Chain A
Protein backbone atom coordinates (compact mmCIF):
# COMPACT_ATOMS: atom_id res chain seq x y z
CA UNK A 1 0.00 0.00 0.00
CA UNK A 2 1.29 3.45 -0.80
CA UNK A 3 1.80 6.34 1.56
CA UNK A 4 -0.98 8.90 1.70
CA UNK A 5 1.33 11.81 1.04
CA UNK A 6 -1.42 14.40 1.40
CA UNK A 7 -2.30 13.12 4.85
CA UNK A 8 1.33 13.09 5.96
CA UNK A 9 1.79 16.67 4.86
CA UNK A 10 -1.40 17.82 6.50
CA UNK A 11 -0.42 16.25 9.82
CA UNK A 12 3.13 17.66 9.84
CA UNK A 13 2.46 21.09 11.42
CA UNK A 14 0.12 19.55 13.99
CA UNK A 15 2.76 17.05 15.09
CA UNK A 16 5.34 19.85 15.40
CA UNK A 17 2.78 21.75 17.48
CA UNK A 18 2.33 18.81 19.85
CA UNK A 19 6.08 18.40 20.35
CA UNK A 20 6.54 22.11 21.01
CA UNK A 21 3.76 21.97 23.59
CA UNK A 22 5.51 19.06 25.25
CA UNK A 23 8.54 21.27 25.71
CA UNK A 24 10.72 20.64 22.66
CA UNK A 25 12.04 23.79 21.07
CA UNK A 26 10.89 24.47 17.52
CA UNK A 27 14.14 23.52 15.78
CA UNK A 28 14.39 20.19 17.62
CA UNK A 29 10.69 19.44 17.15
CA UNK A 30 10.94 20.15 13.45
CA UNK A 31 13.97 17.88 13.06
CA UNK A 32 12.23 15.09 14.95
CA UNK A 33 9.09 15.36 12.83
CA UNK A 34 11.16 15.32 9.64
CA UNK A 35 12.81 12.12 10.86
CA UNK A 36 9.39 10.63 11.66
CA UNK A 37 8.15 11.57 8.19
CA UNK A 38 11.10 9.80 6.59
CA UNK A 39 10.31 6.70 8.68
CA UNK A 40 6.67 6.86 7.62
CA UNK A 41 7.82 6.93 4.02
CA UNK A 42 9.81 3.74 4.52
CA UNK A 43 7.60 1.76 6.91
CA UNK A 44 4.03 2.59 5.89
CA UNK A 45 4.30 0.90 2.49
CA UNK A 46 5.66 -2.23 4.28
CA UNK A 47 3.73 -5.39 5.26
CA UNK A 48 2.28 -3.80 8.43
CA UNK A 49 0.74 -1.05 6.35
CA UNK A 50 -0.15 2.42 7.47
CA UNK A 51 -1.11 2.80 11.14
CA UNK A 52 -4.78 3.09 12.05
CA UNK A 53 -4.19 6.43 13.75
CA UNK A 54 -1.53 8.17 11.67
CA UNK A 55 -1.45 11.29 13.85
CA UNK A 56 -0.79 9.27 17.02
CA UNK A 57 1.85 7.22 15.18
CA UNK A 58 3.62 10.34 13.97
CA UNK A 59 3.50 11.98 17.40
CA UNK A 60 4.88 8.87 19.11
CA UNK A 61 7.58 8.32 16.50
CA UNK A 62 8.59 11.98 16.39
CA UNK A 63 8.72 12.16 20.19
CA UNK A 64 10.98 9.09 20.30
CA UNK A 65 13.22 10.62 17.65
CA UNK A 66 13.36 13.76 19.73
CA UNK A 67 14.29 11.86 22.88
CA UNK A 68 16.98 9.95 21.00
CA UNK A 69 18.39 13.22 19.72
CA UNK A 70 18.37 14.77 23.21
CA UNK A 71 20.04 11.66 24.68
CA UNK A 72 22.75 11.49 22.07
CA UNK A 73 23.41 15.21 22.40
CA UNK A 74 23.68 14.72 26.17
CA UNK A 75 25.99 11.74 25.67
CA UNK A 76 28.17 13.84 23.40
CA UNK A 77 28.47 16.38 26.16
CA UNK A 78 29.25 13.52 28.57
CA UNK A 79 26.39 14.37 30.87
CA UNK A 80 23.31 12.55 32.01
CA UNK A 81 20.05 14.27 31.29
CA UNK A 82 16.78 12.97 32.60
CA UNK A 83 14.00 13.14 30.09
CA UNK A 84 10.50 11.88 30.48
CA UNK A 85 9.98 9.02 28.10
CA UNK A 86 6.24 9.29 28.29
CA UNK A 87 5.18 12.85 28.86
CA UNK A 88 1.88 13.73 30.40
CA UNK A 89 -0.56 14.31 27.59
CA UNK A 90 -0.35 18.01 26.93
CA UNK A 91 -3.31 20.16 26.11
CA UNK A 92 -5.12 18.89 23.02
CA UNK A 93 -3.80 19.96 19.66
CA UNK A 94 -4.73 23.60 19.42
CA UNK A 95 -6.00 24.80 16.04
CA UNK A 96 -3.65 27.72 16.47
CA UNK A 97 -0.54 25.54 16.47
CA UNK A 98 -0.52 25.38 12.70
CA UNK A 99 -1.16 29.09 12.34
CA UNK A 100 1.72 29.87 14.68
CA UNK A 101 4.00 27.81 12.49
CA UNK A 102 2.97 29.82 9.43
CA UNK A 103 3.97 33.01 11.25
CA UNK A 104 7.24 31.58 12.51
CA UNK A 105 8.28 30.19 9.12
CA UNK A 106 7.58 33.52 7.42
CA UNK A 107 9.28 35.53 10.14
CA UNK A 108 10.61 38.88 8.86
CA UNK A 109 14.09 37.90 10.12
CA UNK A 110 14.24 35.29 7.33
CA UNK A 111 15.18 35.89 3.72
CA UNK A 112 12.41 35.06 1.25
CA UNK A 113 14.28 31.95 0.10
CA UNK A 114 14.76 30.72 3.66
CA UNK A 115 11.15 31.46 4.59
CA UNK A 116 9.88 29.50 1.60
CA UNK A 117 12.04 26.50 2.40
CA UNK A 118 11.12 26.48 6.08
CA UNK A 119 7.41 26.89 5.32
CA UNK A 120 7.48 23.99 2.87
CA UNK A 121 9.19 21.77 5.40
CA UNK A 122 7.51 22.67 8.70
CA UNK A 123 4.04 23.62 7.47
CA UNK A 124 4.00 21.74 4.18
CA UNK A 125 5.60 18.51 5.39
CA UNK A 126 7.90 18.19 2.39
CA UNK A 127 11.24 16.48 2.78
CA UNK A 128 14.45 18.42 2.37
CA UNK A 129 15.17 16.44 -0.77
CA UNK A 130 11.82 17.38 -2.35
CA UNK A 131 12.35 21.06 -1.54
CA UNK A 132 15.90 20.94 -2.91
CA UNK A 133 14.67 19.35 -6.15
CA UNK A 134 11.94 21.93 -6.50
CA UNK A 135 14.40 24.82 -6.20
CA UNK A 136 17.12 23.05 -8.21
CA UNK A 137 19.81 23.16 -5.53
CA UNK A 138 21.78 20.29 -3.96
CA UNK A 139 20.08 18.62 -1.00
CA UNK A 140 22.96 19.53 1.34
CA UNK A 141 22.59 23.19 0.39
CA UNK A 142 18.89 23.12 1.15
CA UNK A 143 19.48 21.30 4.44
CA UNK A 144 21.92 24.02 5.44
CA UNK A 145 19.52 26.78 4.41
CA UNK A 146 16.78 25.24 6.52
CA UNK A 147 18.95 24.72 9.57
CA UNK A 148 20.24 28.31 9.39
CA UNK A 149 16.66 29.53 9.08
CA UNK A 150 15.72 27.59 12.18
CA UNK A 151 18.60 29.10 14.09
CA UNK A 152 17.48 32.56 12.97
CA UNK A 153 14.04 32.10 14.50
CA UNK A 154 15.21 30.14 17.56
CA UNK A 155 14.45 32.93 20.01
CA UNK A 156 11.04 33.81 18.63
CA UNK A 157 8.14 33.41 21.03
CA UNK A 158 5.71 31.08 19.30
CA UNK A 159 2.77 32.54 21.17
CA UNK A 160 3.19 36.04 19.84
CA UNK A 161 1.05 36.75 16.81
CA UNK A 162 3.03 37.22 13.62
CA UNK A 163 2.46 39.32 10.54
CA UNK A 164 -0.01 37.90 8.06
CA UNK A 165 1.23 39.97 5.06
CA UNK A 166 4.65 38.31 5.24
CA UNK A 167 2.99 34.88 5.33
CA UNK A 168 0.93 35.74 2.25
CA UNK A 169 4.04 37.01 0.48
CA UNK A 170 5.91 33.76 1.16
CA UNK A 171 3.00 31.66 -0.10
CA UNK A 172 2.76 33.83 -3.20
CA UNK A 173 6.48 33.25 -3.89
CA UNK A 174 6.06 29.50 -3.44
CA UNK A 175 3.15 29.56 -5.88
CA UNK A 176 5.25 31.41 -8.44
CA UNK A 177 8.17 29.01 -8.06
CA UNK A 178 5.93 26.69 -10.06
CA UNK A 179 6.94 23.25 -11.09
CA UNK A 180 10.18 21.36 -11.25
CA UNK A 181 11.21 18.13 -9.62
CA UNK A 182 8.44 15.81 -8.46
CA UNK A 183 6.59 18.35 -6.34
CA UNK A 184 4.14 20.81 -7.80
CA UNK A 185 4.86 23.91 -5.74
CA UNK A 186 1.88 25.79 -7.16
CA UNK A 187 -0.48 23.07 -5.98
CA UNK A 188 1.32 22.95 -2.65
CA UNK A 189 0.99 26.74 -2.24
CA UNK A 190 -2.72 26.46 -2.97
CA UNK A 191 -3.12 23.75 -0.33
CA UNK A 192 -1.25 25.80 2.27
CA UNK A 193 -3.19 28.97 1.43
CA UNK A 194 -6.50 27.10 1.57
CA UNK A 195 -5.56 25.86 5.04
CA UNK A 196 -4.51 29.38 6.07
CA UNK A 197 -7.85 30.79 4.93
CA UNK A 198 -9.60 28.30 7.21
CA UNK A 199 -7.35 29.30 10.12
CA UNK A 200 -7.48 33.09 9.78
CA UNK A 201 -10.72 34.10 8.14
CA UNK A 202 -8.86 37.01 6.51
CA UNK A 203 -10.07 38.77 3.34
CA UNK A 204 -6.58 39.12 1.84
CA UNK A 205 -5.70 35.48 2.52
CA UNK A 206 -8.89 34.60 0.64
CA UNK A 207 -7.91 37.07 -2.09
CA UNK A 208 -4.57 35.31 -2.49
CA UNK A 209 -6.27 31.91 -2.64
CA UNK A 210 -8.64 33.20 -5.33
CA UNK A 211 -5.72 34.63 -7.29
CA UNK A 212 -3.86 31.30 -7.15
CA UNK A 213 -6.93 29.29 -8.19
CA UNK A 214 -7.64 31.59 -11.14
CA UNK A 215 -4.03 31.37 -12.35
CA UNK A 216 -3.85 27.63 -11.82
CA UNK A 217 -7.03 27.29 -13.91
CA UNK A 218 -5.15 28.63 -16.93
CA UNK A 219 -1.95 26.72 -16.37
CA UNK A 220 -2.30 23.89 -18.90
CA UNK A 221 -3.28 26.39 -21.59
CA UNK A 222 -0.26 28.56 -20.87
CA UNK A 223 2.37 26.29 -22.40
CA UNK A 224 2.57 24.49 -25.70
CA UNK A 225 3.45 20.80 -25.90
CA UNK A 226 7.09 21.78 -26.57
CA UNK A 227 7.15 23.99 -23.47
CA UNK A 228 6.81 27.34 -25.28
CA UNK A 229 4.79 30.06 -23.53
CA UNK A 230 1.35 30.90 -24.90
CA UNK A 231 0.28 34.48 -24.10
CA UNK A 232 -3.16 35.08 -22.60
CA UNK A 233 -4.62 36.41 -25.84
CA UNK A 234 -3.67 33.23 -27.75
CA UNK A 235 -4.64 30.63 -25.16
CA UNK A 236 -7.19 27.97 -26.02
CA UNK A 237 -9.79 29.02 -23.47
CA UNK A 238 -11.64 25.72 -23.74
CA UNK A 239 -8.67 24.23 -21.90
CA UNK A 240 -9.12 26.47 -18.87
CA UNK A 241 -10.26 24.59 -15.78
CA UNK A 242 -13.83 25.81 -15.22
CA UNK A 243 -14.15 24.18 -11.80
CA UNK A 244 -11.10 26.06 -10.51
CA UNK A 245 -12.39 29.29 -12.05
CA UNK A 246 -15.78 28.84 -10.38
CA UNK A 247 -14.13 28.20 -7.04
CA UNK A 248 -11.76 31.16 -7.45
CA UNK A 249 -14.59 33.53 -8.34
CA UNK A 250 -16.63 32.25 -5.42
CA UNK A 251 -13.79 32.72 -2.92
CA UNK A 252 -13.11 36.19 -4.35
CA UNK A 253 -16.74 37.33 -4.14
CA UNK A 254 -17.01 36.26 -0.52
CA UNK A 255 -13.80 38.14 0.25
CA UNK A 256 -14.82 41.31 -1.61
CA UNK A 257 -18.17 41.34 0.20
CA UNK A 258 -16.30 41.97 3.44
CA UNK A 259 -15.22 45.35 2.13
CA UNK A 260 -11.59 45.06 3.19
CA UNK A 261 -9.88 45.42 -0.14
CA UNK A 262 -6.21 44.61 -0.53
CA UNK A 263 -3.78 43.96 -3.35
CA UNK A 264 -4.38 40.23 -3.65
CA UNK A 265 -8.13 40.71 -3.97
CA UNK A 266 -7.59 43.39 -6.61
CA UNK A 267 -5.21 41.12 -8.56
CA UNK A 268 -7.69 38.27 -8.27
CA UNK A 269 -10.45 40.55 -9.55
CA UNK A 270 -8.38 41.22 -12.68
CA UNK A 271 -7.70 37.50 -13.11
CA UNK A 272 -11.43 36.85 -12.71
CA UNK A 273 -12.30 39.34 -15.45
CA UNK A 274 -9.96 37.47 -17.81
CA UNK A 275 -11.43 34.16 -16.74
CA UNK A 276 -14.91 35.50 -17.45
CA UNK A 277 -14.20 36.36 -21.09
CA UNK A 278 -14.75 33.69 -23.72
CA UNK A 279 -12.24 35.43 -25.98
CA UNK A 280 -9.72 38.20 -25.61
CA UNK A 281 -12.08 40.47 -27.57
CA UNK A 282 -14.86 39.91 -25.07
CA UNK A 283 -12.68 40.94 -22.12
CA UNK A 284 -14.12 43.84 -20.15
CA UNK A 285 -10.96 45.92 -20.50
CA UNK A 286 -12.56 49.05 -19.03
CA UNK A 287 -13.17 47.21 -15.78
CA UNK A 288 -9.69 45.69 -15.94
CA UNK A 289 -8.25 49.22 -16.11
CA UNK A 290 -10.41 50.29 -13.16
CA UNK A 291 -9.04 47.42 -11.09
CA UNK A 292 -5.50 48.38 -12.08
CA UNK A 293 -6.25 51.92 -10.88
CA UNK A 294 -7.35 50.42 -7.58
CA UNK A 295 -4.28 48.21 -7.42
CA UNK A 296 -2.02 51.16 -8.19
CA UNK A 297 -3.65 53.12 -5.38
CA UNK A 298 -3.02 50.20 -3.00
CA UNK A 299 0.57 49.45 -3.99
CA UNK A 300 2.02 52.41 -5.89
CA UNK A 301 4.04 49.78 -7.75
CA UNK A 302 5.61 50.66 -11.12
CA UNK A 303 5.02 47.05 -12.21
CA UNK A 304 1.30 47.64 -11.75
CA UNK A 305 1.66 50.88 -13.68
CA UNK A 306 3.21 48.89 -16.53
CA UNK A 307 0.42 46.29 -16.58
CA UNK A 308 -2.12 49.07 -16.42
CA UNK A 309 -0.61 50.67 -19.55
CA UNK A 310 -1.10 47.38 -21.43
CA UNK A 311 -4.73 47.21 -20.28
CA UNK A 312 -5.27 50.85 -21.30
CA UNK A 313 -3.94 49.88 -24.73
CA UNK A 314 -6.69 47.27 -24.99
CA UNK A 315 -9.42 49.50 -23.59
CA UNK A 316 -8.64 52.77 -25.40
CA UNK A 317 -6.30 51.77 -28.21
CA UNK A 318 -2.51 51.38 -28.51
CA UNK A 319 -1.81 55.13 -28.65
CA UNK A 320 -3.48 55.58 -25.27
CA UNK A 321 -1.51 52.60 -23.99
CA UNK A 322 1.77 54.09 -25.20
CA UNK A 323 0.87 57.40 -23.55
CA UNK A 324 0.27 55.58 -20.26
CA UNK A 325 3.53 53.68 -20.76
CA UNK A 326 5.49 56.93 -21.09
CA UNK A 327 5.02 57.50 -17.34
CA UNK A 328 6.51 54.08 -16.45
CA UNK A 329 10.18 54.27 -15.38
CA UNK A 330 12.60 52.84 -17.95
CA UNK A 331 14.10 50.26 -15.58
CA UNK A 332 10.86 48.42 -14.79
CA UNK A 333 11.28 44.77 -15.80
CA UNK A 334 9.40 43.73 -18.96
CA UNK A 335 8.82 47.33 -20.02
CA UNK A 336 10.36 46.68 -23.46
CA UNK A 337 8.09 43.69 -23.99
CA UNK A 338 5.00 45.77 -23.13
CA UNK A 339 6.18 48.58 -25.40
CA UNK A 340 6.78 46.07 -28.21
CA UNK A 341 3.25 44.73 -27.85
CA UNK A 342 1.73 48.23 -27.99
CA UNK A 343 3.86 49.34 -30.96
CA UNK A 344 2.87 46.21 -32.86
CA UNK A 345 -0.81 46.91 -32.15
CA UNK A 346 -0.17 50.43 -33.43
CA UNK A 347 1.24 49.01 -36.69
CA UNK A 348 4.88 49.96 -36.12
CA UNK A 349 6.37 46.51 -36.69
CA UNK A 350 9.99 47.63 -37.05
CA UNK A 351 10.03 49.36 -33.66
CA UNK A 352 8.16 46.45 -32.11
CA UNK A 353 10.63 43.89 -33.51
CA UNK A 354 13.60 45.81 -32.10
CA UNK A 355 11.94 46.10 -28.70
CA UNK A 356 11.09 42.38 -28.63
CA UNK A 357 14.72 41.55 -29.40
CA UNK A 358 15.89 43.89 -26.62
CA UNK A 359 13.33 42.40 -24.23
CA UNK A 360 14.62 38.89 -25.06
CA UNK A 361 18.15 39.99 -24.09
CA UNK A 362 16.89 41.16 -20.70
CA UNK A 363 14.47 38.27 -20.06
CA UNK A 364 14.72 36.79 -16.56
CA UNK A 365 14.10 33.19 -17.62
CA UNK A 366 14.48 30.92 -20.62
CA UNK A 367 10.77 30.48 -21.31
CA UNK A 368 10.29 34.22 -21.61
CA UNK A 369 13.49 34.70 -23.56
CA UNK A 370 12.48 32.08 -26.11
CA UNK A 371 8.98 33.52 -26.35
CA UNK A 372 10.25 37.04 -26.93
CA UNK A 373 12.81 35.80 -29.47
CA UNK A 374 9.97 34.10 -31.37
CA UNK A 375 7.98 37.35 -31.29
CA UNK A 376 10.91 39.29 -32.72
CA UNK A 377 11.45 36.58 -35.34
CA UNK A 378 7.77 36.65 -36.31
CA UNK A 379 7.84 40.44 -36.86
CA UNK A 380 11.14 40.37 -38.74
CA UNK A 381 9.67 37.73 -41.03
CA UNK A 382 6.51 39.84 -41.56
CA UNK A 383 8.70 42.84 -42.41
CA UNK A 384 10.72 40.79 -44.95
CA UNK A 385 7.54 39.56 -46.62
CA UNK A 386 6.09 43.01 -47.05
Chain B
Protein backbone atom coordinates (compact mmCIF):
# COMPACT_ATOMS: atom_id res chain seq x y z
CA UNK B 1 0.00 0.00 0.00
CA UNK B 2 1.37 3.34 -0.98
CA UNK B 3 1.06 6.42 1.16
CA UNK B 4 2.03 10.01 0.63
CA UNK B 5 3.57 11.85 3.56
CA UNK B 6 3.16 15.55 3.01
CA UNK B 7 5.18 18.08 4.89
CA UNK B 8 3.69 21.57 5.03
CA UNK B 9 5.43 24.86 5.58
CA UNK B 10 2.31 26.00 7.42
CA UNK B 11 -1.29 25.02 7.82
CA UNK B 12 -2.64 21.92 9.50
CA UNK B 13 -3.86 21.62 13.10
CA UNK B 14 -2.56 23.78 15.93
CA UNK B 15 1.20 23.61 16.13
CA UNK B 16 3.12 21.89 18.88
CA UNK B 17 5.26 24.49 20.70
CA UNK B 18 8.43 22.74 19.50
CA UNK B 19 7.54 23.11 15.83
CA UNK B 20 9.81 25.97 14.80
CA UNK B 21 10.27 25.82 11.07
CA UNK B 22 12.66 28.73 10.51
CA UNK B 23 15.89 26.78 10.57
CA UNK B 24 18.10 29.81 9.98
CA UNK B 25 17.51 30.80 13.62
CA UNK B 26 18.74 27.44 14.95
CA UNK B 27 22.42 26.81 15.65
CA UNK B 28 24.46 25.28 12.81
CA UNK B 29 24.81 22.05 14.84
CA UNK B 30 21.04 21.83 15.25
CA UNK B 31 20.65 22.32 11.49
CA UNK B 32 23.19 19.55 10.82
CA UNK B 33 21.48 17.18 13.25
CA UNK B 34 18.08 17.79 11.64
CA UNK B 35 19.37 17.23 8.08
CA UNK B 36 21.25 14.11 9.16
CA UNK B 37 18.06 12.72 10.74
CA UNK B 38 16.11 13.28 7.52
CA UNK B 39 18.81 11.65 5.38
CA UNK B 40 19.05 8.75 7.75
CA UNK B 41 15.27 8.29 7.75
CA UNK B 42 15.19 8.02 3.93
CA UNK B 43 18.19 5.67 3.94
CA UNK B 44 16.50 3.34 6.41
CA UNK B 45 13.37 3.21 4.24
CA UNK B 46 15.50 2.41 1.21
CA UNK B 47 17.18 -0.37 3.18
CA UNK B 48 13.83 -1.79 4.31
CA UNK B 49 12.42 -1.69 0.78
CA UNK B 50 9.69 0.80 1.66
CA UNK B 51 10.97 3.96 -0.02
CA UNK B 52 9.33 4.97 -3.31
CA UNK B 53 10.24 8.60 -3.87
CA UNK B 54 10.59 11.87 -2.14
CA UNK B 55 11.47 15.44 -2.85
CA UNK B 56 11.66 18.87 -1.29
CA UNK B 57 9.92 21.77 -2.98
CA UNK B 58 10.88 25.41 -3.32
CA UNK B 59 8.91 27.63 -0.96
CA UNK B 60 7.09 29.62 -3.63
CA UNK B 61 4.09 28.45 -5.60
CA UNK B 62 2.03 29.82 -8.47
CA UNK B 63 -1.63 29.06 -9.20
CA UNK B 64 -2.40 28.42 -12.87
CA UNK B 65 -5.61 27.76 -14.78
CA UNK B 66 -6.88 27.46 -18.34
CA UNK B 67 -8.29 30.70 -19.71
CA UNK B 68 -10.00 29.60 -22.91
CA UNK B 69 -8.89 28.48 -26.34
CA UNK B 70 -5.97 30.38 -27.83
CA UNK B 71 -5.22 32.29 -24.66
CA UNK B 72 -2.27 31.86 -22.35
CA UNK B 73 -3.13 30.33 -18.98
CA UNK B 74 -4.06 32.68 -16.15
CA UNK B 75 -1.62 32.73 -13.27
CA UNK B 76 -1.96 33.97 -9.73
CA UNK B 77 1.17 34.38 -7.69
CA UNK B 78 3.93 33.43 -7.19
CA UNK B 79 3.05 33.25 -3.51
CA UNK B 80 5.47 32.84 -0.70
CA UNK B 81 2.77 33.54 1.88
CA UNK B 82 -0.26 31.36 1.33
CA UNK B 83 -2.28 29.75 4.05
CA UNK B 84 -0.92 26.34 3.25
CA UNK B 85 2.16 25.38 1.30
CA UNK B 86 3.65 21.97 0.68
CA UNK B 87 7.32 21.85 1.65
CA UNK B 88 7.98 18.40 0.29
CA UNK B 89 6.77 14.86 0.26
CA UNK B 90 7.78 11.28 0.58
CA UNK B 91 6.00 8.28 -0.88
CA UNK B 92 6.32 4.97 0.96
CA UNK B 93 5.09 1.52 0.05
CA UNK B 94 4.26 -0.31 3.28
CA UNK B 95 2.39 -3.34 4.61
CA UNK B 96 -0.29 -1.49 6.53
CA UNK B 97 -1.84 1.77 7.61
CA UNK B 98 -0.30 1.19 11.04
CA UNK B 99 3.18 1.03 9.54
CA UNK B 100 2.51 4.25 7.60
CA UNK B 101 1.41 5.94 10.85
CA UNK B 102 4.52 4.68 12.60
CA UNK B 103 6.79 6.09 9.87
CA UNK B 104 5.05 9.46 9.77
CA UNK B 105 5.43 9.63 13.55
CA UNK B 106 9.14 8.94 13.23
CA UNK B 107 9.56 11.62 10.58
CA UNK B 108 7.70 14.09 12.76
CA UNK B 109 10.18 13.42 15.56
CA UNK B 110 13.04 14.99 13.56
CA UNK B 111 15.12 17.05 15.97
CA UNK B 112 14.90 20.83 16.12
CA UNK B 113 16.32 23.46 18.50
CA UNK B 114 18.02 21.89 21.52
CA UNK B 115 17.86 18.50 19.81
CA UNK B 116 14.22 18.14 20.89
CA UNK B 117 11.69 16.51 18.53
CA UNK B 118 9.88 19.08 16.41
CA UNK B 119 6.46 17.36 16.65
CA UNK B 120 5.61 18.77 13.22
CA UNK B 121 2.30 17.73 11.72
CA UNK B 122 2.60 15.51 8.66
CA UNK B 123 -0.33 14.78 6.40
CA UNK B 124 -0.71 11.12 5.50
CA UNK B 125 -2.73 10.26 2.38
CA UNK B 126 -3.33 6.80 0.94
CA UNK B 127 -2.81 6.37 -2.81
CA UNK B 128 -5.75 5.34 -4.93
CA UNK B 129 -4.30 2.61 -7.13
CA UNK B 130 -5.07 3.23 -10.78
CA UNK B 131 -6.13 -0.34 -11.59
CA UNK B 132 -8.82 -2.52 -10.15
CA UNK B 133 -7.44 -5.83 -8.83
CA UNK B 134 -7.09 -8.64 -11.37
CA UNK B 135 -9.02 -11.06 -9.16
CA UNK B 136 -12.59 -10.29 -8.18
Interface residues of A (CB under 8 A from B): 226-228, 353, 356-357, 360-363, 366, 369-370, 373-374, 376-378, 380-381
Asked if B39 and A227 make an inter-chain contact with CB atoms under 8 angstroms apart, the answer reads yes
Which B-chain residue is minimally distant from A379 (CB atoms)?
B24
A226 with B32, Cβ < 8 A, contacts A361-B59, A361-B80 known: yes
Given the complex of chains A and B, what is the CA–CA distance between A257 and B35 in angstroms? 48
Query: Chain A contacts of B59 at CB under 8 A?
Result: 361
Asked if A377 and B28 make an inter-chain contact with CB atoms under 8 angstroms apart, the answer reads yes
Name 14 A/B residue pairs within 8 A (Cβ), A-sorted: A226-B32, A226-B35, A228-B32, A357-B24, A363-B58, A366-B56, A369-B56, A370-B31, A370-B35, A374-B31, A374-B32, A377-B27, A377-B28, A378-B28
Asked if B39 and A377 make an inter-chain contact with CB atoms under 8 angstroms apart, the answer reads no
Interface residues of B (CB under 8 A from A): 22-28, 30-32, 35-36, 39, 56, 58-60, 80
Query: Chain B contacts of A374 at CB under 8 A?
Result: 28, 31-32
Asked if B30 and A377 make an inter-chain contact with CB atoms under 8 angstroms apart, the answer reads yes
Number of A-B contacts (CB under 8 A): 41
Query: Chain B contacts of A380 at CB under 8 A?
Result: 24-25
Given the complex of chains A and B, what is the CA–CA distance between A377 and B31 in angstroms? 8
Residue of A353, A360, A381 with highest tally of chain B CB at under 10 A: A381
Given the complex of chains A and B, what is the CA–CA distance between A361 and B79 in angstroms? 12
Residue of B27, B56, B80 with highest tally of chain A CB at under 10 A: B27
Given the complex of chains A and B, what is the CA–CA distance between A227 and B40 in angstroms? 12
Query: Chain B contacts of A377 at CB under 8 A?
Result: 23-28, 30-31
Given the complex of chains A and B, what is the CA–CA distance between A381 and B27 in angstroms? 6
Given the complex of chains A and B, what is the CA–CA distance between A228 and B23 in angstroms? 16
Asked if B56 and A353 make an inter-chain contact with CB atoms under 8 angstroms apart, the answer reads no
A356 with B28, Cβ < 8 A, contacts A361-B80, A366-B56, A370-B35 known: no
Query: Chain A contacts of B23 at CB under 8 A?
Result: 373, 377
Asked if B36 and A226 make an inter-chain contact with CB atoms under 8 angstroms apart, the answer reads yes
Given the complex of chains A and B, what is the CA–CA distance between A190 and B56 in angstroms? 30
Asked if A381 and B28 make an inter-chain contact with CB atoms under 8 angstroms apart, the answer reads yes
Asked if B24 and A360 make an inter-chain contact with CB atoms under 8 angstroms apart, the answer reads yes
B37 CB to closest chain A CB, in angstroms? 11
Given the complex of chains A and B, what is the CA–CA distance between A366 and B88 in angstroms? 11
B93 CB to closest chain A CB, in angstroms? 16
B80 CB to closest chain A CB, in angstroms? 7
Given A226-B32, A377-B23, A381-B27, 9 other A-B contacts at CB below 8 A? Answer: A226-B39, A228-B35, A357-B22, A361-B60, A363-B58, A370-B31, A377-B24, A377-B25, A381-B28
Query: Chain A contacts of B36 at CB under 8 A?
Result: 226
Given the complex of chains A and B, what is the CA–CA distance between A356 and B22 in angstroms? 13
Given the complex of chains A and B, what is the CA–CA distance between A377 and B24 in angstroms? 4
Given the complex of chains A and B, what is the CA–CA distance between A122 and B85 in angstroms? 42
Query: Chain A contacts of B22 at CB under 8 A?
Result: 357
Query: Chain A contacts of B39 at CB under 8 A?
Result: 226-227
Which A-chain residue is minimally distant from B23 (CB atoms)?
A373
B78 CB to closest chain A CB, in angstroms? 11
B20 CB to closest chain A CB, in angstroms? 12
A367 CB to closest chain B CB, in angstroms? 10
Query: Chain B contacts of A381 at CB under 8 A?
Result: 27-28
Given the complex of chains A and B, what is the CA–CA distance between A362 and B58 in angstroms? 7
Query: Chain B contacts of A360 at CB under 8 A?
Result: 24
Which B-chain residue is minimally distant from A226 (CB atoms)?
B36
Query: Chain A contacts of B35 at CB under 8 A?
Result: 226, 228, 370
Given the complex of chains A and B, what is the CA–CA distance between A228 and B29 in angstroms? 13
Which B-chain residue is minimally distant from A376 (CB atoms)?
B24
Residue of A226, A227, A360, A377 with highest tally of chain B CB at under 10 A: A377
Which B-chain residue is minimally distant from A370 (CB atoms)?
B35
Residue of B22, B24, B25, B32 with highest tally of chain A CB at under 10 A: B24
Query: Chain A contacts of B56 at CB under 8 A?
Result: 366, 369
B31 CB to closest chain A CB, in angstroms? 5
Given the complex of chains A and B, what is the CA–CA distance between A369 and B35 in angstroms? 11
A373 with B27, Cβ < 8 A, contacts A226-B32, A361-B59, A361-B80 known: no
B121 CB to closest chain A CB, in angstroms? 21
Query: Chain B contacts of A226 at CB under 8 A?
Result: 32, 35-36, 39
Given the complex of chains A and B, what is the CA–CA distance between A369 and B56 in angstroms? 11
Give which listed residue, A353, A361, A373, contacts B31 with CB less than 8 A. A373
